[in-house]
Structure 1
Amino acid sequence: MKNRQKIKDLTHLGAYHNWVEESFPDEMAAGIRNRHLWRIDTLHGKQYLLVLSDSQPNPQKLVTYGVEGTVQIKSYDRFLASLVQGQTMRFRLTANPTYAVMQPGSDRGKVYPHVTVQQQRQWLVNKSAKAGFKVLGQANSDGTDNFTFDVVSRERVPLHRKSGRGIRLSQVTFEGQLKIDDLELFKQALTQGIGREKAFGMGLMTVIPEG
């Protein structure tokens, strides 16, 4: 995404969301709103858009704000089929760590972001149990954690809604090691995402087998 003229509109998460959604024109024409997980990664000074979806995107739409000839589309099924119980992997996850506080007279909680690194790391530990994996490491005798994963970036990124009201979402990227504890739950986490704000670039976890 080097062309500054082409990316001038990509100033907030909503613009990226629209780019991803418009890359599935057949779904839009049919009024289908499938969830598409996506994430922006930076590697060696270049930015890459990763998209995970049930159906194949339109390559020309997907390259709208990108570089011609760089779109690669691959099936995820073979990789998912290769995963095994107990396997250890390196992972990267960009997520929106939050918690809810129940409000008087309501059956719904008000959502707040976790703000400290310790809170954000504990959020991932808690989520991992329901997502079929364990982050590797152990607790220290003083009660602090010694998990082998890091918070590699923390940002408050802008999101402009159609109503015109702008907000900022907490975006945290984790990297580290994990072990598959429940294979089916783990596959579900990979394909459906982890946490909130999946439509806005959160929740997509990528993994690389070790050994």
Structure 2
Amino acid sequence: MFLSRFRVNTARPGARRLLSSPQAMHAAVMSSFPHILPSDSPTPDAPRVLWRLDQLARAEVLLYVVSPDRPDLTHLVEQAGWPAVAGPENPGWQTRPYAPFLDRLTAGGRWAFRLTANPVHTIRRKEGEPRKLTAHLTPVHQMSWLLDEKRQERCGFRVCEKPANRRLLPEGTTHHKRPHPGDRYELTVRDTRSLSFDKSRSRTADSRRDRPVTVVTATFEGHLEVTDADMLRRTLTQGIGRARAYGCGLLTLAPLAQPGRRTA
């Protein structure tokens, strides 16, 4: 497994096109792997290609990629990087083996984390109707999605709780009848976006009638404790939740012992 980081040159037209369409970015990321064909789809337990965009500032956007093979991002450098300064020593991106980090994970370890996900649930609007997949739209419900006990158990971690002296309310909740996360947990929703794009690559008569794909994403930051190292390793290499092809599901960790370090 490999972890790669690429800084996007947001001033370039190619970068703006990629940033405006998760479908286009997905295609660009998958083109980095010569041995993966467009028709290939991973089996449920196989490592897969995951990616995420982190917008740290207006002109600082980082693309992270976790992949079973070492990527060649030359085409991304040419379209959306700084090709004039790229060279043998600095190709325009950084890639490092992921296995040494994954092997360090042990139960009980605590880490800072970042995750962009597609929090969804199913609802039935009328009795007798089939259940419909619907996105969570508020930070409270998005946090509850990640804090779901079964989801955390499957992922091999639990989100850490804040010490009592750092909570605004004694129990860390904000409603006495229907408690929700409030400030009980070391968890924040940094950004929520609704992305709408055309999934079709070709503008045929049939594809023009297709409805655009809409994906609601939420970016979480916080602290977690490892409960099952093997399950967490699986989560880090296979992702969390839906819409993984569109920049969701990639969880990254950073040590808590180094204040100010970005999760990556």
TM-score (norm 2): 0.72
Q: Does 1:42 align with 2:66?
A: no
Following TM superposition, by how much is the alpha carbon of 1:110 offset from its aligned partner in structure 2, in angstroms? 2.3
- Correspondence for 2:253 among 202, 207, 210: 207
Letter in 1 for 2:152: S
The CA distance in 1 between the partners of 2:68 and 2:216, in whole Å, is 27
- Correspondence for 1:154 among 167, 192, 208: 192
TM-superposition CA deviations, 1:35-57 (whole Å, max 9, x none) = 31001112343111111111111
Following TM superposition, by how much is the alpha carbon of 1:12 offset from its aligned partner in structure 2, in angstroms? 1.5
* More moved, 67-76 vs 86-95: 67-76
Which residues of structure 1 form unaligned runs of 5+?
Answer: none
TM-superposition CA deviations, 1:149-197 (whole Å, max 9, x none) = 1000011112211134313211100001100011111111111000100
TM-superposition CA deviations, 1:71-130 (whole Å, max 9, x none) = 111110000001111000000000000012479586xx4211011211100000012222
TM-score (norm 1): 0.89
Query: Secondary structure, in 3 states, of the residue corresponding to 1:7?
Result: helix
The CA distance in 2 between the partners of 1:197 and 1:39, in whole Å, is 11
TM-superposition CA deviations, 1:4-37 (whole Å, max 9, x none) = 22224222111111111111233228x5345310
Equivalent residues in 2 for 1:44-63 (5 A)?
44=57, 45-63=59-77
Cα separation, partners in 2 of 1:78 and 1:113, compared to 1, 3 Å? same
Which residues of structure 2 form unaligned runs of 5+?
Answer: 1-8, 43-47, 87-91, 163-170, 201-206, 258-264
Cα separation, partners in 2 of 1:104 and 1:19, compared to 1, 3 Å? farther
> Is the contact made by 1:157 and 1:169 (CA closer than 8 Å) also made in structure 2?
yes
Letter in 2 for 1:140: G
Cα separation, partners in 2 of 1:116 and 1:84, compared to 1, 3 Å? same
- Correspondence for 1:140 among 172, 176, 185: 172
Residue in structure 2 matched with residue 75 of structure 1 by the alignment: 97
Letter in 2 for 1:208: A
Q: Which has the greater radius of gyration?
A: 2
Cα separation, partners in 2 of 1:4 and 1:62, compared to 1, 3 Å? closer
The CA distance in 1 between the partners of 2:36 and 2:226, in whole Å, is 33
After TM superposition, what 4+ stretches of structure 1 lie above 4 angstroms from structure 2? 102-106
> Is the contact made by 1:13 and 1:160 (CA closer than 8 Å) also made in structure 2?
no
Aligned residue-pair number? 208
The CA distance in 2 between the partners of 1:8 and 1:92, in whole Å, is 24
Identical aligned pairs, as a percentage? Answer: 31
Residue in structure 1 matched with residue 4 of structure 2 by the alignment: none
Residue in structure 2 matched with residue 65 of structure 1 by the alignment: 80
Equivalent residues in 2 for 1:14-25 (5 A)?
14-25=23-34
The CA distance in 2 between the partners of 1:118 and 1:8, in whole Å, is 31
| CA RMSD in angstroms, aligned pairs only | 2.2
* More moved, 42-51 vs 174-183: 42-51
Q: Does 1:116 align with 2:138?
A: yes
* More moved, 146-155 vs 39-48: 39-48
The CA distance in 2 between the partners of 1:159 and 1:75, in whole Å, is 33
Q: Does 1:165 align with 2:211?
A: yes
The CA distance in 1 between the partners of 2:252 and 2:225, in whole Å, is 14
